[in-house]
Structure 1
Amino acid sequence: TSLAQTAAISQTFLRFLPPGTTPPLVIIYSASTVPVIQIGLTSDTLSEQQLFDFGNYFIRTQLATVPGAATPFPYGGKQRVVSVDINPTALQAKGLSAVDIVNAVNAQNLILPTGTAKLGTLEYNVEMNGSPQSVEELNDLPVKTVNGATIYMKDVAHVRDGFSPQTNIVLSNGQRGVLMSIYKTGTASTIDIVDRVKKMLDFNKGSIPEGLRISTFFDQSLYVRASIQGVIREAIIAACLTAVMILLFLGNWKSTLIIAISIPLSILVSILCLSALGQTINIMTLGGLALAVGILVDDATVEIENINRNLAMGKETVQAILDGAQQIAVPAFVSTLCICIVFIPMFFLSGVAKFLFVPLAEAVSFAMLASYMWSRTIVPTLAMYLLSSEDEYHAEEHAGEKMGFFRRYQQGFERSFEKFREGYRRALGVALHSPKLFAACFLAFCVLSVLLVGVLGRDFFPKVDAGQIRLHMRARTGLRIEETARLADQVNGVIRETIPKDELTTVLDNIGVPYSGINLTYSNAGTIGTSDAEILVQLKEVRGKPTGAYINDLREKLPQRFPGVQFFFQPADIVTQILNFGTPAPIDVEVTGMNQRGNYLIGEKLASEFRHIPGAVDVHVQQAFDNPTLFMEIDRARAQSVGMQSRDVAQNVLVSLSSSFQTAPAFWLDPKNGVEYNVAVQEPQYRVENYQALQNTPISGSAPGSRPQILGNLVTTSTTARPAEISHYTTQPMINIYAAVDGRDLGGVSDEVEKRVQAIEKDLPKGSHIAVRGQVQTMKNSFAGLGFGLLGAIVLVYLLIVVNFQSWLDPFIIITALPGALAGICWTLLLTHTTLNVPSLTGAIMSVGVATANSILMVSFAREQMDEGKSARDAASEAGFVRIRPVLMTALAMIIGMVPMAVGLGEGGEQNAPLGRAVIGGLVFATFATLFFVPCVFSMIHGRRARRPSQPEPLSP
């Protein structure tokens, strides 16, 4: 596999790297690898070392058994190590150096197997005190013998149970602790992972030390559960509203019951099919089912209405059912296929749009096919049993006596509807009297409406309010972590001033660089050093302002309170993090090339220009080139004169400042818990508190006869600046300019960004390249795919109808309702202040199939009327008059079924709201086009053909 090949190749380069280089760790990372829950460890009695130990060696090992969960090393706390604090003064007095201490530790603190000894009749395991049983015993290790006198470890150093220099601090509501992030990997369910993690924590409660508090933060499953519950609620409301609407038209509760039964049965079949394909119940599959609720009644509604029409003609119940089912069997089948076939292009999408909307397409398609199947089987059967017992068309008095309310209501509704239908006939007659004028006006309106696309704005996905804030703070590069923590505490104060106490749940600070590079690999925070801090804020569900309003308040306050400190907000909800594909912002401008300094200057110039773009916020260059650095230039000649080489100087400095574990790792096994801890020989940080102390670092050579020196005698030190972080893209150094969007659509901001990028390309250093990536690039690819899908859906629908009608013209007449659908989509999005995005484009594709379904019923009936000898104009008028009831019933059922989704109530409702709005707008205008424009087109085309000699219309030349 690619993973194994990458790991194997990376291992071959180890021998070319400097000693002490950690072997590369290749991990699988995808866009969905995001934290789904955070675990916090705090205590009033336990130390930070104990908190880190418990999190790393107990909780983390338990979490490793949770399928689909990835748990990097803990954040914060203090890593327990056996600290050998060397005394530079004592070392100089004894003629030793830090390297001598390292050699002594490695030689006399051994964890080696000894073997067995067969003595007499028994076989003994042989053990040896190669490793001391306690940390204090390490102070008694002999280091060196000079002139017969033994120098012990305690003479030149102090061994203690300590911790490595702290580079990462975690504060939970102001209290120091440890943070553990649980990441979702692969196709695992967020809800399943969180449930298993919580179950594991509950199971191990008995093993928790006294005084330890375990808390969970930023549980993304709460948002996912609320979103799923919201979709289910929308589906239930849609089903109830649809049933009420059908009852309004039919006035017959038994007919309504027959139609309503098809909804849960169709959904059940769809769920079974999705399960067979390995899909899970998630927001998108449930969204597809909620989307289909209003459409599922289409087949059953048309059939019941046709059965009732045949009953009204005086036919017997069975005959009326057979005739009613037969008359609309083919048109209903074609209509169902038209709705399903429009989703085929979605299977050819790429990127995140494919993974999001293919499950939705599958859910709708399976439900629609199941609906047609039930309309051919269950619906006629139930009609025979339920409608035959109440022959309301032959025994009106009996029906009125049994269901007086429904009968009286139906009679009143029928009288009103007949008046409406007669009014429609007259209006249609006016349109048919001047069909060319009406058609020209309607087409002109549609063309002008479609031009509104330019003012709608473009987004990839709608923003959601998950009640979480993720703030990144970057102070002066190189700032000590203690100072960064103090600064973060002041920022927390501003946050608590801005957000009312009763609306605030948690403020979590993750300051500095995590101890393991694995954490940096998983995280998209953009941390580059100890001057960085990530502040996570969890709000309560009930709050006075939207989360975005608090973000805007903080975006205005923080730079004023803390000049010189950078603040930028990053996505906190799981959906946006996945859509950003691991980047901290939706717009990522990348400058790549070997000229790092030149590229950095280009990046700074671009960032300055981006800040003037309306709607562009949190603009910053990710890399920093001003990390304070002490450059030590070794005087090689002087070093050689005292028996030393550059390697001796570098090794001694490394041990003194970064501990011996980098190049000569040693371990001490704690017999109490069985954990091996690093043994780190290092000069204590408090001893190197000024420049002079650094210059006094003792240096010893490895060659015999070398004379001990201090660092200041061998090097010349100067202050300079270096890059704090070097990123690569396709093996070349890269500079990232990130930008977020607020108060404007992503497409509008990205267009202006690209203009400025194109303008600066001529100034790029030789060999450098620049590109705009991030969510913007994915949005463009998805839009192109969905645009192609929309055209493909229209073509597929047209070809399907051609096959059914055995004609090229009638299918053309049928799809003339589509311009009305497109116009309706544009107007609805404009009036609801909804941008053009992936969900709304998906709704547009779906509208193509739905809008065609009613048009098929209209044109097929008009053709039947012409076959009976009527003129094209009379046939069109009669088709509109007869088919207005089923057209309005099915259209209103779909529209009403979409209303709960279009409103976008509850958690995550904003995600699918554009889809519902697009379908509603498309259906409203497409229904108008079906009732007026399609009859006019039919009258014009068939009227002209009727005046010509009759000749067959071939399907192919």
Structure 2
Amino acid sequence: MKLVNESVKRPVGVIMIVAAILGLGFVSLRSLTIDLFPDIELPIAVVSTSYEGAAPQEVEKLVSRPIESAVSSLEGLEVLQSRSQAGASLVMMQFNTGVNLDNTLLEVREKVDSVTSVLPEGAGEPSVLRFNPQQLPIMTIGLSGDTPEDLQQLAENRLVPLFERQEGVASVTIEGGRTREVQVMIDRAKMAQYGLNSQTIIQALNSSNQSASAGNIQKGQKDLQIRISGEYESIEDVRETIIQTPNGTSLTLDQIAEVEENFAKSNTISEVNGTPAVVLSFLKKTDSNTVETADQIHAAMEEARSELPEGVNLEVVLDTSEFVKTSINSVVKNIIIGGIISVFVLLLFLKSIRATLVIGISIPIAIISTFTLMYFTGETLNVLTMGGLALGIGMMVDSSIVILESIYSYRQRGYSMVEASKLGASELAPAVIASATTTLVVFLPIIFVEGIASELFTPLALTVSFALIASLAVSVTLVPMLSSKLLTKTIASSGRRYWFDRFLEKVNDAYRGLLRKVLQYRKTTVLATGISVAIGFALIPLIGTEFIPPSDQGQVQISVNMSEGTGVETTQEFTNQVDDHLKEFSDVIEVSYLTIGGGGFGGGAGNSSSDFASYTIQLVDPGERGQSTKAVTEDINEALQGIAGADIAVSEMEAGLGIGAPLQIQLNGPEYEVLDQLSRQVVYLMEDVEGISEPTSSTDEGRPEMQINVNDQKAAQYGLSDQQVINQIQLAFSGQIATRYREGGNEIDVRLILPKEERQTIADLEGMSVQTPSGSVIPLATIADLQQVQGPVSLLREGQQPQVNVEAEVVGRDLGSTTEAVRAQLDSLNFPEGYSYSIGGQAEDMREAFGDLALALVFSIFLVYAVMAVQFENFLFPLIIMFSLPATIVGVSGGLFITGLPFSLPAFVGIIMLAGIVVNNAIVLVDYINILRRNSYDRREAILEAGPNRLRPILMTTLTTVLGMLPLALGIGQGAEAQQPLAVTIIFGLTVSSFFTLILIPVVYTYFDDLSSKITGFFKRQED
């Protein structure tokens, strides 16, 4: 080949190019973004709207449904879901893959803007956002040591502005503090006495808290601006607000109301290590580096600590960058270990440090070149891309090994170093290129399929492809050039490693003898292979399936669900008992973060209510505790189950992708009441399924509520409408913000509300005074009936139809078989007409991803055949080589069965990679058989000569690939769980397939050669 000859002739040019690539690679490495997983860009948009004080039913009717109707006609919309809970609405839209989400978001905003005017008064401005399953806080810090209100002000005024200035920080949220407000507690009796109503007071407060400009006046040669300052500056100004009565009398606000500075009502409490704290959570920008952003936050914390008041502490609660760094470091160690093992294998076979150096140098060059290509294609350094490098560490030297073996064979025949390098590399370069190309093309379908599987594994596929392209370029340029300079001696036949040569000779003799046997008993060989493949398929049901292996990041989550409606004080009393039990684990717990009533929107029923508490526990490093996170989780769970009064769930937090519950049953139909009954039946059936843990329905326990049914006729007699009654009740019990003013840099709300002692009990509600338009006061019970009922916690809809979800964890059993067992139970239910179910969660994601990858596998196999057909310029020989593929199922299923790993997404990607790897040995073998036959060898002689002759490079390439992946297969270090099934699949699949290749491919070659001879003979006879 011309490229080989040029590289041998111009070694200085090759060295300069390599040096330039290495320099660019090191620069690129410093610029690459580091993260845990690749960014997943799913075509999902969400519309979030607040509606303070509204029950789920009102939120659904007045907010969620209008927004659903507006966006339902958008082009490309696949799934439309909404979740309505007290005070908030979330509408989610999932579009077809391939939709330009940036343009679609503009359309969504236009549609939402068109219905904003019909949303109820009090509803917030709808917020349209791009959904990112990984957009979770990268760091959480706790501020403690002072009163919650002082900590809140410190966080708002000093810390948040400081942190938000840091590079990479998108936003900072505060939880656990208390906010001051001025409460105007009105006296209804006095208001009635003066003929006043709440709207009059609100108008007076607004008009008295105003500033305005009134033009300019001249003073000498200057213009002075006229500014009227009438804004409130203190609570005294609020008290002295002038109120005009209908009869013209003026009075101050404090004559008809008690004005006090108090704290806004809060159902949220945060504690860090048992101490009340204000917690700050950080979101990073989409394109920023997790590790660098966390480092910036740490630096800002050091700066902030020097300015904090005495006694106030600032400490890290959770830092995901630590797990990212640990995971990446683990993979880097695996790469180094794999590289050392590969070099050791080369040294063992080649018995020459110089020869080993020639091949071993391709590893760092390929890796560093890969960093350059990753940078220019926008990939990030994450567990999967770095894992791709670790997986390819042994494959990187395959091409170089084959080239070097050929060069050595020419050296042993007496050729000079330069001639041997040219001839040896040129002879096998086409086969090497074909082998590398078959490995590369299998990744194309992964890149072009749709869904989460492509989003996750495209970066891995690109990384491995880049590494293989770089190693191929090295094998046909740098290896011949270095061989022409360094291989001054041929392989010695004696020395310290002579024992290995004798061992290889025995292996060769044994293989030659086995080859004679299989060629003699061809049918038996094919039958034995078929039986082995059948056994491999039979093992598949025993393996089980899962979506993505969970990663152990040393975190435990405890969820405490009190009975619905429980007050925050009662919940805190219960968590104090939990705290006492957690003290038993102080030696393994590094940080414990408790939030009551927190957790944000959408994480589960009741998760933002005072009856819900959540602990996030960070354990000490694995080396300091001597137990796995799973074991610690089980111990904590056992210790807490003895506490009565709440449902406590202890689970291991997994470093994952925010992909939801493992198993979710979605029930759809026209009526919530029927769906509620169906969900209870589903929960009952699922409880008997092995592997199902804690099935819960989204309607399991309703929230107790007092339902007020206004009698329209009675209300009309007093001149009242429903809305007027609703407004007065809301004002009395939740209050209304009338105005706000600034004091000392803080913005303070002025809230109109009833005195606390008048809004505590049911009797207070029943006896509440309602003011009529005429100024008279009547009890609420006069015009309304009050009834205590169980209201829903949240209301779900999909496709503009009611939906109820049943979710469950899967424990001690694989997800696939558990899903099928649940499906069998559901099929036994008689669903009423118009009602149906579907299975979602990770089970649905797994089914879709497996379907996409199955399609990718079919296309990969076709592309491998097409590449070989082009390379060989023949349709028959590639078909022979393809017979090495079926035997991989024996290794894959056997390997997963032996290691106890379920069949998962990474394992499926491993099978696709195998489709391109396992044929390489067969290509080398068949290609050499053809070369010998062209040199006048008999078919049998060619096979018996080619097999043992190619056994050495086949063993070398297989061992370097297999042993290079061994550290990943053993799951060494944190974060290796995602690559472990992939490595196990390739190791066992390649090992078993290599054995079958060596014995089956020669037999298949003879059968196809016989068939070809018969066909050729037939056509010759026809011509005669």
Q: TM-score, normalised by structure 2?
A: 0.85
The aligned amino acid for 1:912 is Q
Which one is further off, 206-215 or 783-792? Answer: 206-215
Residue 850 (structure 2) aligned to one of 783, 803, 814:
783
Residue 763 (structure 1) aligned to one of 831, 839, 850:
831
Map 1:692-841 → 2, pairs under 5 A: 692-701=763-772, 703=773, 705-760=774-829, 762-764=830-832, 766-841=833-908
Question: Alpha-carbon deviations, 1:307-332, whole Å to 9, x = none?
Answer: 11221122222222222112211111
Residue 607 (structure 2) aligned to one of 501, 504, 527:
527
1:173 corresponds in structure 2 to: 273
Alignment of 1:597 onto 2:673: yes
2:32 corresponds in structure 1 to: none
> 2:897, 2:317 → 1: CA distance?
39
Residue 564 (structure 2) aligned to one of 477, 492, 495:
477
Alignment of 1:545 onto 2:627: yes
Alignment of 1:450 onto 2:537: yes
SS in structure 2 of the partner of residue 31 of structure 1:
coil
How far is the alpha carbon of 1:392 from its aligned partner?
A: 4.0
Alignment of 1:253 onto 2:353: yes
How far is the alpha carbon of 1:681 from its aligned partner?
A: 1.0
Instruction: Indicate if the aligned counterparts of 1:71 and 1:180 stay in contact, CA closer than 8 A.
Output: no
> 1:525, 1:709 → 2: CA distance?
38
Which one is further off, 680-689 or 96-105? Answer: 96-105
1:301 corresponds in structure 2 to: 401
Which one is further off, 123-132 or 431-440? Answer: 123-132
Question: Alpha-carbon deviations, 1:119-148, whole Å to 9, x = none?
Answer: 444433434442222123322223345888
> 1:892, 1:952 → 2: CA distance?
45
How far is the alpha carbon of 1:785 from its aligned partner?
A: 1.6
How many residues align? The count is 916
> 2:421, 2:717 → 1: CA distance?
110
> 1:525, 1:337 → 2: CA distance?
52
Change (3 A) 1:328 1:220: same
Question: Alpha-carbon deviations, 1:561-611, whole Å to 9, x = none?
Answer: 225x33445673341x43x1xx3x122222233311111221122122212
SS in structure 2 of the partner of residue 408 of structure 1:
coil
The aligned amino acid for 1:655 is L
> 2:174, 2:420 → 1: CA distance?
72
Which one is further off, 253-262 or 866-875? Answer: 866-875
Map 1:912-927 → 2, pairs under 5 A: 912-927=979-994
> 2:987, 2:288 → 1: CA distance?
34
SS in structure 1 of the partner of residue 974 of structure 2:
coil
Change (3 A) 1:748 1:56: farther
> 1:429, 1:253 → 2: CA distance?
36
1:216 corresponds in structure 2 to: 316
The aligned amino acid for 1:716 is D
> 1:112, 1:490 → 2: CA distance?
56
2:591 corresponds in structure 1 to: 506
Question: Alpha-carbon deviations, 1:805-833, whole Å to 9, x = none?
Answer: 22222212212121222211111111000
> 1:555, 1:599 → 2: CA distance?
32
Q: Which runs of 5+ in 2 are unaligned?
A: 1-102
Residue 561 (structure 1) aligned to one of 625, 643, 647:
643
Instruction: Indicate if the aligned counterparts of 1:96 and 1:708 stay in contact, CA closer than 8 A.
Output: no
Change (3 A) 1:68 1:686: farther
The aligned amino acid for 2:837 is I
> 2:212, 2:814 → 1: CA distance?
64
Question: Alpha-carbon deviations, 1:1-43, whole Å to 9, x = none?
Answer: 3223322322332332322221212222222222221122222
How far is the alpha carbon of 1:421 from its aligned partner?
A: 1.4
Question: Alpha-carbon deviations, 1:651-698, whole Å to 9, x = none?
Answer: 22211111112xxx411122x11x432211112445423233334434
Change (3 A) 1:60 1:571: farther
How far is the alpha carbon of 1:735 from its aligned partner?
A: 1.4
Which one is further off, 407-416 or 472-481? Answer: 407-416
SS in structure 2 of the partner of residue 32 of structure 1:
coil
How far is the alpha carbon of 1:415 from its aligned partner?
A: 2.5
Instruction: Indicate if the aligned counterparts of 1:34 and 1:574 stay in contact, CA closer than 8 A.
Output: no
Change (3 A) 1:145 1:267: same
How far is the alpha carbon of 1:294 from its aligned partner?
A: 0.2
The aligned amino acid for 1:681 is L
How far is the alpha carbon of 1:255 from its aligned partner?
A: 0.1
> 2:1019, 2:739 → 1: CA distance?
93
Change (3 A) 1:730 1:73: farther
The aligned amino acid for 2:548 is F
2:753 corresponds in structure 1 to: 682
Change (3 A) 1:114 1:744: farther
The aligned amino acid for 1:451 is A
Residue 274 (structure 1) aligned to one of 374, 387, 398:
374
1:403 corresponds in structure 2 to: none
1:432 corresponds in structure 2 to: 519
Change (3 A) 1:451 1:788: farther
Instruction: Indicate if the aligned counterparts of 1:98 and 1:682 stay in contact, CA closer than 8 A.
Output: no
Change (3 A) 1:607 1:948: closer
Instruction: Indicate if the aligned counterparts of 2:605 and 2:793 stay in contact, CA closer than 8 A.
Output: no
How far is the alpha carbon of 1:783 from its aligned partner?
A: 0.8
Question: Alpha-carbon deviations, 1:701-734, whole Å to 9, x = none?
Answer: 3x3x431334344433221222121223233332
SS in structure 2 of the partner of residue 572 of structure 1:
strand
How far is the alpha carbon of 1:151 from its aligned partner?
A: 3.6
> 2:642, 2:684 → 1: CA distance?
18
2:914 corresponds in structure 1 to: 847
Change (3 A) 1:752 1:118: farther
Instruction: Indicate if the aligned counterparts of 1:492 and 1:507 stay in contact, CA closer than 8 A.
Output: no
Instruction: Indicate if the aligned counterparts of 2:929 and 2:946 stay in contact, CA closer than 8 A.
Output: yes
Q: TM-score, normalised by structure 1?
A: 0.91
Change (3 A) 1:89 1:373: same
> 1:686, 1:732 → 2: CA distance?
42
Map 1:281-320 → 2, pairs under 5 A: 281-320=381-420
1:404 corresponds in structure 2 to: none
> 1:117, 1:863 → 2: CA distance?
103
The aligned amino acid for 1:472 is S
Instruction: Indicate if the aligned counterparts of 2:605 and 2:794 stay in contact, CA closer than 8 A.
Output: no
The aligned amino acid for 1:668 is Y
Change (3 A) 1:264 1:74: same
> 2:604, 2:281 → 1: CA distance?
13
Question: Alpha-carbon deviations, 1:899-940, whole Å to 9, x = none?
Answer: 011111111111101111111001111110122111222233
How far is the alpha carbon of 1:834 from its aligned partner?
A: 0.9
Identity across matched positions, percent: 26
Question: Alpha-carbon deviations, 1:31-80, whole Å to 9, x = none?
Answer: 2222221122222x3x3223223334544444444566443642222232
Instruction: Indicate if the aligned counterparts of 2:552 and 2:653 stay in contact, CA closer than 8 A.
Output: no
Which one is further off, 649-658 or 681-690? Answer: 681-690
The aligned amino acid for 1:894 is T
Residue 123 (structure 2) aligned to one of 21, 32, 52:
21
Note the aligned Cα RMSD (angstroms): 2.6
Alignment of 1:51 onto 2:151: yes
Change (3 A) 1:684 1:105: same
Instruction: Indicate if the aligned counterparts of 2:633 and 2:652 stay in contact, CA closer than 8 A.
Output: no
SS in structure 1 of the partner of residue 587 of structure 2:
helix
Change (3 A) 1:692 1:941: closer
Instruction: Indicate if the aligned counterparts of 1:467 and 1:539 stay in contact, CA closer than 8 A.
Output: yes
2:453 corresponds in structure 1 to: 353
